[in-house]
Structures are given as structure tokens and as C-alpha cells.
Amino acid sequence: MNLNITHLYPELLNLYGDLGNIAALNMRLRWRGIGCTVTEVKLGGRIDFSNTDILFLGGGSARDQLMARNALAGIAGTLLEYVENGGVTIAICGGYQLLGKYFFLDGSKTEGLSLLDIYTDDAQGRLTGNVVLESSLVSDKIVGFENHAGRTFIGDYQPLGKVLAGHGNNAQDGHEGVVYKNLVGTYLHGPLLPKNPQLCDWILTQALKAKYSEFDSLSELPDIEERAANRFICEKYAGGK
């Protein structure tokens, strides 16, 4: 077995160590004897959706986010088809905002890719700090770091989790991130996946099930250091909830 990960615009969208998410996906496959091929698509490059099992879009500065949006606008229909067909997608921070109808850059309303019926409004002040979530996807808490000015509203979509500590999507509804089919969008950096091995494995499992009809489940890994880091953040910022 082998999974193909397509990493979009790594030269632009790696604001808070998002390359660590690619490393976590790669290594958690290889530790189990499953192959992993990572293809970096840089600005101007072609995305081979037929050979993509996981699509990763990280976070970037306002300028880089706009460049990524402009590059993807012409293939938004193909992206939407990939998502609707169950293509596994991870979108972090600026990449998360790109999924929706619109977002704001330097005070200007900017059209998104409209892959989801969500939107991001502008507001005074940034939402920053460590975050702890309770999620229906995994039994462990999800932890990470947020730093965003936009307030994202996801309507009736499933959130990634309920906020136990931090601000989340908009500091109003108590939710963070979005889950739609096999797509996960979130503001959480840190990077996210090394400190959340269960979430990383959930993503890998969805991709393996989509590609291999005979696939059942991933073998267990010790995850001693990973889960210790996760528990430390939970206890410090959410009182061990």
C-alpha cells in the first residue's frame, strides 16, 4: 500500500511550521510499513488529482494567501469535484479561509474558492493562543495554536471540535474548524498533527479506506511522546478537561 500526498505551495504556505504536518503523515505511514509519496506543487505547477490521496494546504501571510487563491481560482471546479468525491483534504488557517465564499485580506473583501458554504468576516483584534478541543472524530482532545484575525462562520457544517480552551472559529459559537466528508479545515497550527496522533491517524484511515477496499484499520503505535505533549497542553490550558 502507498499513499500519495500533494502538498500545495510549500514555498508560500508554511507560516507556523506546517511542514511538520507533512512529516507526521509521512512517518506514521512508514512506521507501519506503508509507503508514502509526497509531491510538492509550487506556484504555477499542475495538480494531478488522479494521483492525489491527501491534499494539503497550509497557512500563509496575506500576500501569500492571495497568491495561492489566485492560482487555485481557475481550477476551483476541479477542487470541488475532488472534495465532493471524498478526496481527503487538510486546510490550515489561511488555507481554511480559502475554502469559503469570501474572506478579508488587509481590510478588503476577497472572493474565496466556494468549496464550502462558509465565510470569514473581518474584525478588530486577533484571536491568539493555545486551543483545546473536544472532537467527535477522536477520543483524545485536539490541541494546537491559533493566530487569526478573521472570524469564520460554518453554518450547519460539522465543526472539528467544541472549544474547551481558546477562541475557535469566531470567539462566539464555541466551535473550531470544519469537517465535511473527508475535508478538515482548521485554524490550528503548532504544527497540528504531531501533537494529535489520533487525528493524524483518522486522516490517514480515511485516505486508505478510499483507496483500498480491503483496508480495515491502522496498527497501533506507542505514541508515548506525542500523547504526553497533548496531555501537557490539555492540563495547562483546559485544566485536564
Catalytic site residue from 93, 167, 175, 234? 93
Mean pLDDT of the chain: 95
Backbone conformation region of residue 162, classed left if phi is above 0, alpha if psi is from -120 to 50, else beta: beta
Q: Which residues of the chain have pLDDT under 70?
A: 240-241
- Position 62 scores a pLDDT of 86
**pTM attached to this predicted model:** 0.96
- Position 61 scores a pLDDT of 86
Residue 190 sits in a domain of what CATH number? 3.40.50.880
Distance CA 14, CA 2 (A): 25
- Position 241 scores a pLDDT of 65
Do residues 97 and 124 touch, judged by C-beta distance below 8 A?
A: no
The structural domain count of the chain equals: 1
pLDDT digits (tens, 9 = 90+) for 13-59: 888 788 999 999 999 999 999 999 999 999 999 999 999 999 999 98
- Position 17 scores a pLDDT of 81
Query: In terms of residue numbers, what domain contains 8?
Result: 2-238
Catalytic site includes residue 189: yes
Distances (CA, A) of 54 to 78, 182, 189, 207, 234: 15, 9, 18, 7, 28
- Position 42 scores a pLDDT of 96
Catalytic site residue from 7, 167, 175, 189? 189
SS3 173: coil
- Element holding 120 (H helix, E strand): strand 119-121
Distances (CA, A) of 159 to 137, 138, 180, 195, 213: 10, 13, 9, 19, 28
